[in-house]
């Protein structure tokens, strides 16, 4: 089933392992790494989506400032598609705190129903965003099962707005672009 984007104006993307490869074991800020890489299909997808949607980054990066994140995106030529960057350093909040996502909504002047959150971590990206009423797409590369016990009474309300895919190429199909 496709994600309905008719009334959506903004797409929030996680950073590491969603749009850019997060290389385990490489210390320091991504913008300073010897080599950085965009995820396969990221540029083509962002190029298409940015023509119709506001594109924002919502990252849990602990050390990187907004300028650092912009620099990393610039190194892989994705910065031209990004409208806003939200991180711990410029929000004083971090994932998975729902207040992080609420801050973004407030800053952008949007309702949760205007936004789709796209990320690779169920507990940090998808669950808190869906809990606020955003639609969400979980890029579930490993095909992990969701721990249904953590959803308890919220399962039906949350899961109706959550879709899954395993790559950005699948995401493009899911978003019907």
Express each pLDDT in 113-158 by its tens digit. 999 999 999 999 999 999 999 999 999 988 887 665 555 555 555 5
In sequence order, which residues have a C-beta less than 8 Å from that of residue 42 and are 6 or more positions away?
Answer: 19, 20, 76, 78, 168
Structure tokens at 104: 């973004």
With the C-alpha atoms ordered 33, 86, 124, 5, is the resulting torsion angle positive or negative?
negative
In a domain, 1, yes or no: no
| CA separation for the pair 52, 10 (Å, rounded) | 9
Percent of the chain, pLDDT > 70?
88
**What CATH number is attached to the domain comprising 18?**
3.40.50.1000
CA 98 from centre of chain: 14
CB-CB contact of 161 with 35 (8 Å): no
Which pLDDT belongs to residue 85? 98
| Count of domains for the chain | 1
- For residue 2, being part of any structural domain is answered with no
Residue 4 lies in a domain: no
79-119 tens-digit pLDDT: 999 999 999 999 999 999 999 999 999 999 999 999 999 99
At residue 172 the predicted structure's pLDDT band, cuts being 50, 70 and 90, is confident
Whether pTM exceeds 0.95: no
89 CB-near residues (< 8 Å, 6+ apart): 64, 65, 66
């Amino acid at each position: 089933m496709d994600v309905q984007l008719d009334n959506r104006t903004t797409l929030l993307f996680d950073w590491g392992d969603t749009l850019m490869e997060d290389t385990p074991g490489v210390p320091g800020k991504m913008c300073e790494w010897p080599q950085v890489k965009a995820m396969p299909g990221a540029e083509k997808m962002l190029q298409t989506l940015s023509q119709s949607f506001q594109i924002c980054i919502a990252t849990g990066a602990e050390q990187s400032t907004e300028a650092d994140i912009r620099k990393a995106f610039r190194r892989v030529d994705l910065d031209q598609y990004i409208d806003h960057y939200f991180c711990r350093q410029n929000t004083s909040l971090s994932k998975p705190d729902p207040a992080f996502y609420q801050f973004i909504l407030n800053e952008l002047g949007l309702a949760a129903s205007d936004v789709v959150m796209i990320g690779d971590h169920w507990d940090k990206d998808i669950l808190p965003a869906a809990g606020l009423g955003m639609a969400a797409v979980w890029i579930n590369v490993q095909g992990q099962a969701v721990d249904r016990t953590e959803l308890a009474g919220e399962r039906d309300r949350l899961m109706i707005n959550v879709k899954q895919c395993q790559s950005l190429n699948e995401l493009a199909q899911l978003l019907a672009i």
